[in-house]
Every structure is written in C-alpha cells, then in structure tokens.
Structure 1
Amino acid sequence: MTATLLPSRASLRRYLRVVFGMLCLTLALPGGESGPVSPAAAQTTPVVLPLSVTEIAPGVFVHQGAYALFAPSNRGDIANLSFVIGRDAVAVIDTGGSLAIGQALRAAIRTVTDKPIRYVINTHMHPDHLFGNAAFVDDRPEFIGHHKLARALAARAERYLALNAQWLGPDAFAGTRLIVPTRSVENRSVIDLGERELILEAQPTAHTDNDLTIQDTASGTLFLGDLLFMRHVPVLDGSIRGWLALISRLEQVAAARVVPGHGPPVAAWPEAVQPQKQYLQRISSDVRRMIKEGRSITEAAATVGLSEKEAWLLFDEFNARNVTAAFAELEWE
C-alpha cells in the first residue's frame, strides 16, 4: 500500500500564496479583465444619467420637464431647461429643481460638447428653475439673473429650502443649495458665446418681479421662462396687470420660435401665448366683476376661472391661488 503524504502547514501556506499571486496576475492581464480591487475602489460611484434633450435649432437644446408638482419620483424635474452652444462657450438657461437634476443636465451637455460652461442664466426665482445651479459650481461660470433676483431669493431662501426638501424627500433633495447670482441684469445685457450673442432683458413685474428673457440672435430663439406657460396652467406670483401688459409688448417681438418655462420644448410665436392671454384676461375680468358686486375673495377663489378648467393641466392646484393673488391686486384699483 502506498502512503498519502499530506503537506505541512508551512508548505500549504506557501502554495496558497503562489496560487493567490497567480490569480492576481491573471486578473491584471490586458484584454478587459480588471486587477485586484482595493476597498476604496470597490465603493460604487453614482452614475449620472443625462437628461433627454431636443435640438430645436442649430446649437440650441431643450429638456422638457414633466407636467407635475415636486415629488421624489421626478426629483424636481418639472420645468423646461435649455443650453446654447457658441463657438467658444456654452450658456445654460435654468437648471432644474434639485442638485440631481442639475447634474443630469450637465451630463446631457457633456454628451453634446466639451466647450466650457461660462454662463448659467436663471429666468426667475422659482426653485424648479434654479435649484440645480450647484451642479455647475465647479465650472466657475457667471451666474446671471434679474437685478431683483438676489433680493427675492434672500427673502425666500429658508422657506424654499424647507418646502422643497419636504416635497422631494432626503434622497432626491440631497446636496441641493441655493446659488445666488454673481452678475445681475438691470435693463439689458449681451453675452457673447463666440459668433453667437444672447440678449438678456430684465422685465417689469409679471409672473414674478424678477423675470428675465433671453434671445439668441443666431437662431432667433426667445427663451421666456415662466412668462409663457403651455398646457400647464399659468401661475401668478407677481402682477396680473403687469403680466397682461407685458404679453402685449412681447407679442410684438420678432422671434422664429419660443421656449416656454412649462410646456413643449418649442413653439411658434406669438401664437403660443394666446391661450395664456385668454386665461389671464378671464381671471382679470371675472375678479373685477366680483369686486364690483361686493363679493368676497373666498367666493372668487371658489368660482372664478372655472370656464377655463378643461384647457389646462394642474388647474385645481393653482387656479384658486391665482384668483386670490389677482383679487388682492385688483381690489385696490
């Protein structure tokens, strides 16, 4: 009978070290295999998926936000966001309702171009348009807004952050913070992206008291922010009289196309604004009638504008608020 010799413990340890070394060498060989992974490298780096964008004109891209309220499921992706590419640089127009959406917008830009992002422009103060600003801080752009934007944000910062953290939840809202303008527009300003100029105009009180419009001279595209709502019912946070007056003036602006703050990525001008104009005129005339009849603001909020309900999404969420704001303004005429 032949005896079976068992290796000593020392021999076994040496054998295992050799096998382990050969395994590491095999994993490090070229051809797609990876080598040994350190604990630090093994930590998963979050993958940022780019937002979907539509090129509505050469070098002009728009992401369409959802017709929805803030919710964890959409991470604050409820407004239209845009970017314009010039010969030398990129300008971003609105950045979304959270850091996560801003990061996804930046990822979308990087799928199209590696040109520097030199400007981040906010059309107004509402969180769904500017809470993504922080995603662009490392690009060191100029953050541009209406000259009243910084003051408006300072007055509302605590409330905006608290409410939106509550609506989005801790995961979707993580890392979100307010980035205030580093450059303001008093009346009119022009930025040059390289053979492409953007004209920025500070508008009088309308949707808010800090609305900024942007016109791309190269393509004739006019970015209106929330001065234009399509399908999503308009939201009044400024002056109904001022908004109607501004619509009349903007209707005279020659534009090949417009980008609304909420709605499709692109629309014809001035046809696009007619439903919104009709809605605001209806609210205005009905509120004036109720004030004349001595009716209360509560009665007005419950009844005014109902004839417009079928034309708009999110009507129940915002119409009574619009009527209340219009009543408070118009009763002092």
Structure 2
Amino acid sequence: MMNDRIETPFFILQKISNGVYAAIAKKGEGAWSNSGFVDLGTELVVFDSFSTPAAARELRNIAEEMTGKKVKYLVNSHYHGDHVFGNQVFEDTTILSTSLTRNLFKERNILREVETEREEMTKYLQDLQNQIENSIDDVIKLSIQNQYNEMNKIYEAVQELKMVYPTVTFEEKLVIHGTQRSVEVYALGGGHTPCDTIMYVPQEKVAFMGDLLTEGIHFPIYNPIDFIDIVNKIKTMDLDIVIPGHGNVATLELCETVLKYLKDMVTKAKEAIDSNHTMQDFQSSFTMQEPYSKWLGQNGINRNLETVYMFLRNS
C-alpha cells in the first residue's frame, strides 16, 4: 500500500492519482525544482532530477521502494541545472530530452575542477550575502536569501557532482508505452528556454510542466511570444492537474496567471517601443501589479523586461 504523502528533507512526495506522484521541492534544501514519477506498470519514468544528487537519490530510493519497480526512464524538461544536476543518479537508465536541450546542456553546464568551482561559487555566495545585508526591500531580500540557500546546497554537492547528459533524443513528441499507462512527452517550443518539454499522463489527466508553468517566481523568459503560444496550447489539453516546475500542485487556472504576467509585459513593451522609450525608461516606469509584485526572484523582473523589450524591438 503506497502512502499518499511522504515528507523528506528535500521534498514532499504527493500522490496525485493512480500511479502518478509529484515531488514538491522544499525551499533551500537541495531539490530547488519539482520532480516526480509515473508508474508505467512494470517500470517507472521520472521527470526531472532536482539540483543535487542527494535529492535525486532520495527520490529514486523512495520511488523504487514504494512500488517495487525500477526506474527505466528519466525525462529532462530543459537544460537548467536545478532540473538536471541530479542526472548522475539515473546514469543507468535511459535519459530523454530533445536534441536541442541535450546540446544546450553540454554547452552551458560545464563542470570545471572542483577547486575552481568552489572558488567561483564562494565569490558568488559572498556577493549574494552582501546583497542580503544591504537590501531594504523585504521581497528582494527574501528572493536573494532563497537564491543563496539553493546555491549553497549545490556548493556543498560540488565534490560529487558530475554532468550526465541525455542518452536518447527526440524532436516534438515521444510516447512511452507501459503495461498499465503511457506517458506522452511533448516539446512545444521555446518559451522559458530555447526548448521546453512537458510530460503528459493522459489516462490520469495530469502533466508535469517544467518551468513553462511556475508559481510565485519571476521565471526567466526566452521568447515571450512563443511562451504565450505554448501556454495557450497547454490550456487546450485535457488536464485536471498540472505539476509546475516550482510551486504547488495546481490546476489549469495557473495558465491564466502566467499568461497575464507575459501579456502585460508584452503589451507595455510594445507601447514603450512605439513611444520611442529606451529600455531603461521602460524598466524604470514599469509597475508590477498584484500578485506579481510579491513573487520571488524580484531581480528577475528587470531581466525579463529587458528580454521582452529587446525581443520585440528586434522582431
């Protein structure tokens, strides 16, 4: 008999429906992003691998002990380290991603000598600590503190960390057929990164979204127009439950929150460009409405405003 909820030092494992479990990351404890697994019948498929091997190891151990089955597949939603730095725990499985995600993973997640990594990360953590001490805005201070806590866990894991890349690639769609249920893996385009993948469990009407859907953070934007198009596609899917890349298990209502965030920036950036305002003027005059003004990653809003402005100006 499987438990409906298990709490670990890294995450809370929640039973979503038959054979579908979400691993919701605890803030600052070494998971950073959400993960989860699906029981296909005779084996398991895991979606994303957290930011540290320790968190990934905990998930795999629990999943295999609970079900009495082995993990056969790991799906990487995109190349960001908080979703793939636990890949080494699944090195003996088939690791899946799009070919573009695999290429980006190899190009941008480069692990140097341990001492070099430690030196660079020590400087970065010290800079974050200085920002925390000097910040007078409570939301920004909390955001930076969260970044510090998450990065510190990666710092602690550097000694054992190694990059393990996807071993099988696909382009737009891949179906993994199991004896009890199947999963459909879709690459819907590039919104958050140049290539973002979701995993859909049609029998249970559940999907793992990676960072195409998140809760309460200023998620990085790669292409704002494609991002809006992708979220609109997600809205048309036959879904009851979505598991965001960060935040709590949700319904499709989360799509509306993300869409409003994206559309508001696009609309105001177009107005600024049409009025010949500079990007700096656009950033300084932009007013973030509720609930977005309370989101973590407040420094990320300026990054996103610059991305949207420059993308539209150069389109």
TM-score class, shorter-chain normalisation, is 0.7 to 0.9
Would the aligned equivalents of 1:309 and 1:315 in 2 still touch at CA under 8 Å?
Answer: no
User: Which residue, out of 271, 276, 282, partners 1:289?
Assistant: 271
1:52 aligns with: 12
Asked if residue 275 in structure 1 is aligned to residue 257 in structure 2, the reply is: yes
- Report if aligned partners of 1:234, 1:276 keep a CA contact under 8 Å in 2: no
SS at match of 1:104: helix
- CA drift at 1:122: 0.8
Q: Could you tell me which amino acid in structure 2 is paired with residue 220 of structure 1?
A: K
What residue is the counterpart of 2:218 in the other structure?
233
Q: Which amino acid aligns with 1:240?
A: P
Question: Which secondary structure state, in structure 2, belongs to the residue aligned with residue 213 of structure 1?
Answer: strand
Q: For residue 296 of structure 2, what is the aligned residue in structure 1?
A: 314
Identify if the C-alpha distance between structure 1 residues 297 and 311 changes in structure 2 by more than 3 Å, giving closer, same or farther.
Answer: closer
- Is 1:74 the counterpart of 2:29? The answer is yes
Give the counterpart letter for 1:99 in structure 2: P
Structure 2 counterpart of 1:176: 161
Instruction: Answer yes or no: is 1:249 the counterpart of 2:233.
Output: yes
CA 1:55 to 1:330, structure 2 compared with 1: closer, same or farther past 3 Å? Answer: same
1:272 Cα offset (Å): 1.8
Contact 2:33 2:246 (C-alpha < 8 Å) held by counterparts: yes
Question: Which amino acid is 2:236 matched to?
Answer: Q
Question: Offset at 1:212?
Answer: 0.8
Q: For each residue in 1:149-204, what CA deviation from the matched residue of structure 2 results, as whole angstroms up to 9, or x when unmatched?
A: 11111221228995778632642333122211111121211112322111111121
Q: String of CA shifts for 1:108-140, please: whole Å, max 9, x gaps.
A: 213412211100001111111111111122xx2
Say if 2:48 and 2:84, in contact at 8 Å, map to a contact too.
yes
Question: What are structure 2's unaligned runs of at least 5 residues?
Answer: 1-7, 125-150
Computed over aligned residues only, the root mean square deviation of the Cα atoms, in angstroms, reads 2.3
Bigger relative contact order, structure 1 or 2 (CA pairs below 8 A, ≥6 apart): 2
Please list the CA deviations of residues 53-91 of structure 1 after superposition, one character each: whole Å capped at 9, or x if unmatched.
010111111111245xxxxx522x221111111210000
* Change over 3 Å in CA distance of 1:293–1:131 after alignment to 2: same
Aligned residue type for 2:58: A
Is 2:25 the partner of 1:65? yes
| CA shift for structure 1 position 298 | 2.0
Counterpart contact for 1:65–1:80, Cα < 8 Å: yes
State which structure, 1 or 2, has the greater radius of gyration over its C-alpha atoms: 1
Q: Report Cα offsets for 1:233-266 as digits up to 9, x if no partner.
A: 3321x200110111222211111211111110x2
Structure 1 counterpart of 2:224, one-letter code = I
Q: Which amino acid aligns with 1:144?
A: L
Q: Check 1:233–1:315 CA distance in 2 against 1; reply closer, same or farther (3 A cut).
A: same
Give the gaps of 5 or more residues in structure 1. 1-47, 68-72
Percent sequence identity over matched residues? 20
What CA distance in whole angstroms lies between the structure 2 residues aligned with 1:156 and 1:101?
A: 22
How many residues are aligned here?
A: 275
Q: 2:71 is matched with which residue?
A: 117
Please give the TM-score of this superposition, normalised by the length of structure 1.
Answer: 0.76
1:99–1:174 CA contact under 8 A, matched in 2: no
Q: Is the contact between residue 81 and residue 109 of structure 2 (CA under 8 Å) also seen in structure 1? A: no
